[in-house]
Amino acid sequence: MYKSWDDQAIRSGFMDFETEYPKAIQKLKVAGIDEYVAEIQRQLDEFLAIYSK
């Protein structure tokens, strides 16, 4: 799984969580993470509707 430098630095305590985590989330949002998650959820819902009968 890909880990960004920001993610590793925040998780290891190298960067302050309280100030850097919101910045990392904002970068993900700018990059389109909400649309990505929505598409994955749509595909999962479609799959479950077909195969969970």
Summarize pLDDT for 2-53 with one digit per residue, the tens: 456 666 776 777 788 888 889 989 999 999 999 999 999 999 999 999 998 7
pLDDT confidence bin for 1, thresholds 50/70/90: very low
Q: What is the pLDDT of residue 36?
A: 97
Closest of 24, 27, 28, 30 to residue 10, by C-alpha? 24
Return the sign of the alpha-carbon dihedral for residues 24, 26, 30, 34: positive
Q: Give pTM, 2 decimals.
A: 0.65
Q: How far is CA 11 from CA 5, 15, 18, 42, 50, in A?
A: 10, 8, 12, 30, 38
